[in-house]
């Protein structure tokens, strides 16, 4: 880390504060002032002053009950710890069938989750109210006050603008045009970051799922109509207008049948959000029903085609298949087989490790990133 002899004392104070807070968080156990002086290479008076400020701000506390450490005078040196409980981040999934939320402290440790069902036909206001009440319930269960929320991440279907407005969403009634970020900022009184659900999910799989260690990833949220979220070089690829990965529209071209027709065994299309009807078709197919088997085959062929289009366009290292289709038998084998046959350099194909948790977990990651940027990053202080 470069030492600065800047002319702006408030910037310098802020950098020093960040450096000490980072050292405090990274420390094994509870460091003394001497430990922090050593870790930060700052002067002892500077570290002392910063620690005082951090204690006053509630971000640090004197640790009690640590291992004894005797100074020359015989008095034990004070030890300090990062107060991860000083603030909280929230990840929220708002989907067609449910609202889910996960709460974490400043260190990213999960404190609890809550989930509530909501009707696919529920109007926007009802879905927003369900979101608020689910969050309120979670905070109450965890004994955390509303006022300590520092950032909320939200994953939701549709194309989402940078300011959190939903530009287009066909899956949720009343969602298109909704200023979702603004509405929730009003409720939560802290920064709210809204992201497309598949985009949130790819962040989650990269953080603690099937894509740990891979920076070039396509996550396919495979339902009747698949969407995708992509990391390129470890960063989310949203596209010029936030619509990257909306591959589900591909079947609309060339007069090809929509997935809800492909999966039908009756000639009548399934409802695009009717997961029970879909599960039944898959169960029939497993039971040997020939018509259902053909329907599943058609559906998988379509999915393979859409994933292949994503893979050919982006050339990722890894494809992660999530969404409800990931839970079905026999999704992985045809995907791997066809991609190996036709892609010039086939990617690895894995199932989601986070399953139904992926979207809320990715939304939590977004919120944590925001908080960490605020608390632990000063651009000029970072050695890059």
Residues that bind a second copy (CB under 8 A): 159, 167-168, 216, 228, 230, 232, 237-247, 249-250, 252-254, 301, 304-305, 308-310, 312-317, 338, 341-345, 347
Q: Is 216 or 372 the residue whose CB approaches a second copy more closely?
A: 216
- CA angle 179–250–197, rounded 5-degree value: 35
Closer to a second copy by Cβ: residue 103 or 231: 231
Rounded Cα distance, 155 and 146, in Å: 20
For residues 174 and 94, give the distance between their C-alpha atoms in angstroms, rounded to a whole number. 13
Query: Minimum Å distance from CB 335 to a second copy?
Result: 11
Distance of CA 188 to the CA centre of its chain: 18
**Is the CB of 72 or the CB of 235 nearer to a second copy?**
235
Segment holding 279, helix H or strand E: helix 275-286
Closest approach, Cβ 7 to a second copy, in A, equals: 13
**Whole-number Cα distances in Å, 43 to 6, 35, 46, 94, 186:** 16, 12, 5, 48, 43
Beta bridge partners of 153: 91, 193
Closer residue to a second copy (CB): 73 or 240: 240
Q: How far is the CB of 148 from a second copy (least distance, A)?
A: 36
For residue 205, how many C-alpha atoms fall within 13 Å in the half-sphere facing its CB?
Answer: 33
Q: How far apart are the first and last CA of the chain?
A: 9
Among residues 30 and 225, whose Cβ is nearest to a second copy? 225
Distinct helix (H) and strand (E) counts, the chain = 11, 14
Write out the E strands in the chain.
Answer: 60-62, 80-82, 88-94, 98-105, 110-117, 149-156, 159-160, 166-168, 192-196, 217-221, 227-232, 235-236, 318-322, 348-351
Q: How far is the CB of 357 from a second copy (least distance, A)?
A: 26
Alpha-carbon span 289 to 26, nearest angstrom: 58
The CB-of-25 to a second copy minimum distance in angstroms stands at 28
Residue 313's CB: how many other CB atoms inside 10 A? 13
Residues sharing a CB contact under 8 Å with residue 159, sequence separation 6 or more, in sequence order: 166, 167, 168, 169, 196, 241, 242, 243, 246
CB of 109 vs a second copy, minimal distance in Å:
32
Write down the least CB distance from residue 263 to a second copy, Å.
16
> Smaller CB distance to a second copy: residue 186 or 337?
337
C-beta of 8: minimal distance to a second copy in Å? 15
Give Cβ neighbours of residue 255 (< 8 Å, ≥ 6 apart). Answer: none
Of 28 and 379, the one with the shorter C-beta distance to a second copy is 379
Cβ proximity to a second copy: between 104 and 159 the closer is 159
> Closest separation between CB of residue 132 and a second copy, Å?
28
* DSSP annotation string for 9-53: HHHHHHHHHHHHHHHHHHSSS--BHHHHHHHH---HHHHHHHHHH
Closest to a second copy by CB, 27 vs 250, is 250
């Amino acid at each position: 880390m470069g030492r600065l002899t800047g002319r702006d004392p408030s910037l310098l104070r802020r950098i020093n504060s960040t450096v000490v807070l980072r050292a405090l968080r990274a420390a094994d156990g509870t460091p003394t002032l001497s430990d922090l002086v050593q870790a930060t290479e700052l002067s002892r008076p500077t570290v002392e002053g910063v620690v005082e400020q951090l204690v006053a701000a509630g971000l640090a506390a004197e640790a009690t009950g640590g291992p004894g450490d005797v100074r020359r005078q015989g008095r034990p040196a004070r030890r300090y710890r990062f107060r991860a409980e000083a603030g909280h981040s929230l990840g929220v999934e708002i989907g067609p069938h449910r609202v889910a939320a996960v709460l974490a402290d400043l260190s990213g440790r999960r404190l609890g989750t809550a989930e509530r069902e909501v009707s696919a036909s529920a109007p926007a206001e009802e879905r927003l109210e369900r979101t608020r009440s689910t969050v309120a319930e979670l905070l109450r269960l965890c004994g955390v006050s509303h006022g300590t929320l520092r950032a909320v991440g939200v994953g939701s279907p549709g194309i989402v603008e940078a300011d959190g407005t939903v530009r287009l969403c066909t899956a949720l009634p009343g969602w298109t045009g909704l200023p979702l970020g603004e509405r929730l900022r009003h409720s939560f009184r802290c920064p709210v970051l809204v992201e497309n659900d598949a985009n949130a999910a790819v962040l989650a799989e990269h953080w603690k799922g099937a894509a740990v260690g891979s920076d070039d990833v396509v996550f396919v949220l495979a339902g009747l109509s698949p969407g995708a979220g992509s990391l390129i070089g470890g960063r989310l690829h949203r596209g010029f207008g936030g619509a990257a990965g909306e591959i589900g529209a591909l079947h609309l071209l060339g007069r090809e049948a929509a997935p809800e027709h492909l999966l039908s065994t009756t000639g009548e299309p399934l409802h695009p959000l009717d997961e029970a009807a879909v599960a039944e078709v898959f169960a029939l197919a497993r039971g040997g029903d020939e018509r259902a088997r053909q329907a599943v085959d058609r559906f998988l062929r379509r999915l393979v085609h859409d994933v292949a289009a994503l893979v050919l366009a982006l050339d990722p290292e890894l494809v992660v298949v999530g969404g409800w289709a990931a839970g079905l038998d026999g999704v992985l084998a045809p995907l791997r087989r066809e991609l190996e046959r036709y892609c010039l350099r086939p990617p690895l194909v894995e199932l989601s490790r986070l399953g139904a948790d992926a979207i809320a977990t990715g939304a939590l990651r977004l919120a944590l990133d925001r908080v960490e940027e605020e608390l632990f990053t000063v651009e000029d202080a970072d050695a890059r």
